[in-house]
Amino acid sequence: MNIYEQHEIKGWFFLPEYPDNRVPGILKWDPFKGAEIELMGGLSLLVTPDLESGGIYVITDEIVASMPAQTIYLETEAGKKYSIWDAWRSGYSINHILEKIHEERWLSRLVYVGDHVLSEENAFIKATFYIDGLYYLVNDSRILPPEWCKMDGVERPGERLENGTFLLPYRLPVLGGFKAGKFEGNTKDACYSVNTFATRPWISEATEADPWLKLRFMLKHQRHGLTLTISVGANIGITLRKNGEETEVLEGTASDFLDKFVPIHDLMRLATFHPCAVAKVQLQLKNNHDDGYLLKKVNEVARPEESYDDGNVVFTLNDVSLENFLEKREYFTDTDGAISPWRILIGLCGYFSNYAEEYISQSFAAAEGFHKLCLDKSERYTLKERLKDLYSLLPQEVQEKLKLDVDEWAKHAVEARNHAAHGGPRRSDGSMSVSDRYVIAASVFLVTYLVVLNELGVPTEKITQALCSHPKISTVMSYCDEVRSMLEL
């Protein structure tokens, strides 16, 4: 079940502790809003204010807000099971004549599809995430170049006949199926495996006995004719480990696996300079080989059907191994407090705020915090010294692309930061506009981001290529041109 799609499920709702009190209703899933549950009746008896008899009352006050979040189970007529986690009641109405709840509404951000499981239960042994753009970091060739071939019934291939016939028989080699562990990496508490998959024919006794049946299962019969779709993609599987030890099966909650996904989210943001969107999450129960699905409200909604330019990728896992990335990320975030500037830095990859002062202050927070805490530099550095040191960490070829007068750039950057963080510098001629400060902040963040790439081991030629051809990075690069013009005045 895909996160980015809307879903509506009708069935019977009940609380785990009261399985016999079942209420009909509908679960609506919207990727932007999360889950909304509308019930015909209520799940529990609640303390309510004194009301006059003779009608139905809608309760929307602090009584609703004070209800603790809890798990709600749903079961459809077909027997399919859902677990709605951390649900909170958003409102209800009371039929005072019957002295019972008339309607009830609940909200949630997390829904598990596949079984009845409590949110805090260590029920899962594996999570698999499908992420927009992940395949382009893997680039596993599963569809090979077409090959011209001879075929029965085609006597003169490639020759155009008088009646317009023109036949070119060919084969399209496809390496179908599932390939596990194309790239792998570990942290102290999780194991990661990037896997690829491609369309393959259905395998059964019937299809193996009848090749035409095998083909029929792969074809779509549409009004215009037949369509054969070959798809290739990638996902990442995550299992848990304890203190770096290899264990057969380690169980965890859904939240445990969501926490372990964060490094992969960071990898995607850095490698694509674009927000990371998850299309689907599968969770495997410890006693069940069939995967369930997790619906989670996210800030960025996946769009897997949209076209994608592989030029949007800054580096691949062939450039920086998954193992090395995880080790380096752990090094960057291991110092006390280092995770905060790291998160700011990741959040700014490909993000351009509509509020100039927000972007300015966040860019400098990322640069100063990354230098001080992630690179573990001395507290004695001034901001100007930090910026100059960051710039010095860039390869010479990258510095030649940026062409910044480092002393003047750092001086103006300090003034721009002081405007955003301290209400303005003590000494200023007032010549720097908001747009000037914005482009300086963009150049500061670009330098910081490029230092991260270099520290990760991204090849210098990949970095310089991204400065020229990546859609968003080249835009930030153009801001450096504006900064140079400003400094020359």
**331-356 pLDDT per residue, tens:** 999 999 999 999 999 999 998 888 88
Contact 93, 42 (CB under 8 A): no
As a whole number, mean pLDDT of residues 75-85 equals 96
Contact 201, 174 (CB under 8 A): no
**How many other C-beta atoms can be found within 10 angstroms of the C-beta atom of residue 390?**
22
Give, in degrees to the nearest 5, the angle at Cα 336 between 421 and 189. 130
Q: Hunting for tokens 């999570």 — which residue is that?
A: 127
Does residue 34 have a pLDDT over 90? yes
Could you give the CA distance from residue 215 to residue 207 in angstroms, rounded to a whole number?
A: 8
Residue 97's pLDDT is what? 57
Mind listing the pLDDT tens digit for each residue in 132-168?
Answer: 999 999 988 899 999 999 998 888 888 898 888 999 9
- Burial state string for 316-346 with b = 16 or more CB within 10 A and e = fewer than 16: bbebbebeebbeebeebbeeeebbebbebbb
What six digits make up the tokens of 399? 């510095």
Residue 47's pLDDT is what? 44
The residue type found at 110 is L
**What 3-state class would DSSP assign to 450?**
helix
Task: Tell me the pLDDT of the chain averaged across its residues.
Answer: 89
Residue 58's pLDDT is what? 54
Mind listing the pLDDT tens digit for each residue in 412-443?
Answer: 999 898 887 766 555 555 667 888 999 999 99
Does residue 48 have a pLDDT over 60? no
> Given CA atoms 434, 387, 451, 188 in this order, what sign does their dihedral have?
negative
Alpha-carbon distance values, 329 to 189, 258, 335, 369 (Å): 14, 17, 11, 15
Taking the whole predicted model, whether its pTM rises above 0.85 is answered as: yes
CA-only gyration radius of the chain, Å:
28
**What 3-state class would DSSP assign to 474?**
helix
Could you give the CA distance from residue 437 to residue 356 in angstroms, rounded to a whole number?
A: 8
Contact 277, 298 (CB under 8 A): yes
